[in-house]
């Protein structure tokens, strides 16, 4: 059984890399920052596992649709995203492969939570910065269906570039 000290040790060891993952400097002491990333990451992992197991609709707070929408939107904010490597490592320690039951990998666990955003599935060896990287890649994709509407000679073709406008 994994105890809280094991997870806290991972957060302490990962703190410099997690801190370096953010563009702006973070003005928290090491102790406060470790607590923040551990609590936030545990919340995200619990949220994703609850969604996977269908337990969100039975949760007194998360069953309220407005709150679920707020949490969804909050998780998409860049300043709230935890680096993927830390979330994945914490998940793998908390839920080792041989004791995971029907839980998939952490990457696979993220897709259902954001399925309404049409995230594309990534190969497991693809480098991921955040759990929403599949969404970022979807919007950057050259074959994005909405962006493709504005190419060519059709009636929806984009007439001017940003500089011209």
Residue range 63-67: average pLDDT? 66
The length of the chain in residues reads 165
Residue 13 has pLDDT above 90, yes or no: yes
26-57: per-residue pLDDT in tens? 899 999 999 999 999 998 898 888 888 887 66
Q: Which residue has the higher pLDDT, 26 or 58?
A: 26
Q: Are 109 and 103 in contact (CB under 8 A)?
A: yes
- Give ∠ CA 87-92-98 in degrees, rounded to 5: 160
Q: Which candidate, 113, 106, 85, 105, places its Cα nearest to that of 15?
A: 85
Quote the pLDDT of residue 31.
94
One DSSP character per residue, 30-70 reads HHHHHHHHHHHHHHHHHHHHHHHHT-GGGSTTTTSHHHHHH
Quote the pLDDT of residue 39.
92
Q: Are 109 and 131 in contact (CB under 8 A)?
A: no
User: What is the pTM assigned to this prediction?
Assistant: 0.70
């Amino acid at each position: 059984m994994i105890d809280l000290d094991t997870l806290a040790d991972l957060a302490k060891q990962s703190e410099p890399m997690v801190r370096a993952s953010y563009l702006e400097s973070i003005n928290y002491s090491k102790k406060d920052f470790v607590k923040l990333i551990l609590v936030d990451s545990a919340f995200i992992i619990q949220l994703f596992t609850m969604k996977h197991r269908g337990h969100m609709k039975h949760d007194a707070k998360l069953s309220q649709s407005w709150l679920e929408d707020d949490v969804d939107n909050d998780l998409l904010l860049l300043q709230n995203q935890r680096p993927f490597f830390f979330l994945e490592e914490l998940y793998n320690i908390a839920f080792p492969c041989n004791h995971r039951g029907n839980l998939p990998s952490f990457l696979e666990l993220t897709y259902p939570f954001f399925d309404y955003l049409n995230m594309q599935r990534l190969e497991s060896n693809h480098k991921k910065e955040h759990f929403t990287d599949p969404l970022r890649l979807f919007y950057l994709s050259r074959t994005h269906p909405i962006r493709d509407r504005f190419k060519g000679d059709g009636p929806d073709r984009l007439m001017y570039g940003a500089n011209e406008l």
